[in-house]
Amino acid sequence: MLDEKDIGNIDDTIQPSSSENHSLGETKGKVQTVVSYTHDNIGNVENVLSTILSPSGREVKVTGDVDDAMRLALKSNKIEVSPEDDARLVRKIDLYMFPLMCLLYAIQFMDKISNGSAAVMGLRTDLKMHGDQYSWVGSAFYFGYLFFNLGPGQFIFQKSKWLAKTLAVFVIVWGMFLALHAVPSVTYPTFILLRVLLGCAESMVTPTFTIITSQYWKKEEQFMRVCLWFGFNGLGGIWANALAYGLYEHQDSYSIEAWRVLFIVTGLITIVTGFAIFFHIPDDPSKAWFLSEREKFMVVERIRGNQQGFGNHHIKWYQVKEAFTDIRTWLYFLFSIGSNIPNGGLTNFMNILIKNDFGYSTSQSLLMTMPTGAVELVACPLLGYLSLICARKKVPFLQYRLSWAIIAALISLMATCMLAFAHNSPKAKLAGAYLLYVSPISFICILSIISSNTLGYSKKWTVSSINLVSYAASNLAGPQTFIPSQAPGYSGAKVSMVVCYAATVVILSALFVVNYRENIRRDKIQAERGPDSVKIENLEFADLTDKENPNFRYAL
């Protein structure tokens, strides 16, 4: 909190570095310094244009080491955009970007649960698995996911100026690894290695999509968009189980086991999609082949309110440090633990639960698992749309996306209780298993909150990576809660899910309170400081963090 001495000395902290890049004018009796970026001073790390006060009263240097959007921003503020033009642009971006993004997300989930489908098709028998060996197959994927998010992934993708093309290469590689699961000479140790490598290759989809979402859409639009592409996990679930069912029913037609054919087919689909990503998805809006020059300027203007742009390819270590010291980072971390321990178990064991705990045959279990995907495919976009309507109408409590995350967490808690404790009602247990697939809404909310509320490109990648490290570690631990001696009911795993979902309700509520109180504090500080004593044109694209930017308010 600023004291009166700090507030009274705000004007003394303004230090423009070049008289050629600012002009003076009077604003309510105070000197207002206007600092402008030019093509000559952007990109120069040493070029300190000015200093501003952060919301905590710390002096922050505004340099030329800015966001990639700055070059467009220098021209875009000269255009006028009507609401109708903006609406047409959003529809165009949605049309060109979303089909392939949604397809890729469906495929990456299909790849994950193909392991569970293969398990009931003979994978465990053919690879002579026993004891907890299958649980380690589920965890192995997340060892790779965890390793790659600990550092290599963030470094490669932040440094790359070809974000989408780098992702496409990783997609093609993971398709190859997936197809190699079917090689007849694969043994259990080799299979484990392939799962680790697959986790490495797949680990960058979610953080890359989070960055892409922040590049094109306003922060109030981002939750709905993340709900759409993440919700296509449901299509991936339906697709994988339908494919597995068809292959299993015709297994006598193949020269190799049906589960091996499943891995070959899903691998080839992934490879083809990787090539489509390479040629279709632009690396950032300035390189979007489907946008005119004016439309690229319009994109910059429409995301100006986000206080962030396309990205910055210099790793700023102070932003990395800030990510580790921000309480929000660790609330995201704890939430991911609570929500993804159950997810890791269900991804690998849902088919087995439905077959053994509920008493269905192999083919029936593949069919009965398909509604889980339908629930996710419908629930995620539906709740995202409802949140958008409530936000526009300012409905109390429901206007905030975190409110919907809390509601989804409460539904997940109820569903887990049905699955765990409805011993005398198989239908109630099955309904609980299906309702559990509303739980991704809470995780989607956290992804969109990271996209909206984490400013500074290095900080955003770091926070996203920490969150996904937690995601990977939790999914790694999830299958281990399914103890072989507790089969077929796995009571211990079900109780752990109840505890985890109860914890997520508390954590989400804490995150809401932290952001709400910080916004009130920032409004009070802004009122105490009075009219801005400095105006830096295009400050939104200066690659400041959310703790540095005095104009930023946290989305709830």
Confidence of residue 35 (pLDDT cuts 50, 70, 90): low
Asked if pLDDT for residue 62 goes beyond 50, the answer is: yes
* pLDDT mean over 517-525: 91
Asked if pLDDT for residue 321 goes beyond 80, the answer is: yes
The answer for residues whose C-beta is within 8 angstroms of residue 329's C-beta and 6 or more apart is: 323, 463, 466, 467
* Residue 275 resides in a domain: yes
Asked if pLDDT for residue 137 goes beyond 50, the answer is: yes
* Residue 546 resides in a domain: no
Asked if pLDDT for residue 29 goes beyond 80, the answer is: no
The verdict on 130 and 178 lying in the same domain is: yes
* Residue 547 resides in a domain: no
Asked if pLDDT for residue 8 goes beyond 60, the answer is: no
The verdict on 198 and 301 lying in the same domain is: yes
pLDDT digits over 276-306, tens only? 999 999 998 989 999 999 999 888 888 887 8
> In this predicted structure, which of 206-215, 249-258, 454-463, 529-538 has the lowest mean pLDDT?
529-538
Q: Tell me what percent of the residues of the chain surpass a pLDDT of 70.
A: 89
The verdict on 535 and 470 lying in the same domain is: no
* pLDDT mean over 451-455: 89
Asked if pLDDT for residue 342 goes beyond 50, the answer is: yes
Confidence of residue 88 (pLDDT cuts 50, 70, 90): very high
Instruction: Check residue 172 and give its pLDDT.
Output: 95
The verdict on 360 and 293 lying in the same domain is: yes
The verdict on 159 and 89 lying in the same domain is: yes
Domain range for 171: 83-520
The verdict on 40 and 148 lying in the same domain is: no
* Residue 481 resides in a domain: yes
**pLDDT: which is higher, 213 or 253:** 213
The answer for residues whose C-beta is within 8 angstroms of residue 268's C-beta and 6 or more apart is: 175, 179
**pLDDT: which is higher, 23 or 369:** 369
Asked if pLDDT for residue 47 goes beyond 80, the answer is: no
The verdict on 444 and 368 lying in the same domain is: yes
The verdict on 112 and 70 lying in the same domain is: no
The verdict on 186 and 95 lying in the same domain is: yes
Q: How many domains does the chain have?
A: 2
pLDDT digits over 200-214, tens only? 888 888 888 888 988
The DSSP annotation for 397-439 comes to TTTSHHHHHHHHHHHHHHHHHHHHH-TT-HHHHHHHHHHGGGT
The verdict on 109 and 211 lying in the same domain is: yes
**pLDDT: which is higher, 46 or 256:** 256
The verdict on 43 and 142 lying in the same domain is: no
pTM above the 0.85 mark? no
Most distant CA pair in the chain: distance in Å? 87
CATH code of the domain containing 314: 1.20.1250.20
Asked if pLDDT for residue 256 goes beyond 50, the answer is: yes
The verdict on 159 and 49 lying in the same domain is: no
* Residue 403 resides in a domain: yes
The answer for residues whose C-beta is within 8 angstroms of residue 454's C-beta and 6 or more apart is: 323, 328, 460, 463, 464, 545, 546
* Residue 197 resides in a domain: yes
Go through the chain and tell me how many residues it has: 556
Nearest to 257 by CA among 267, 265, 247: 247
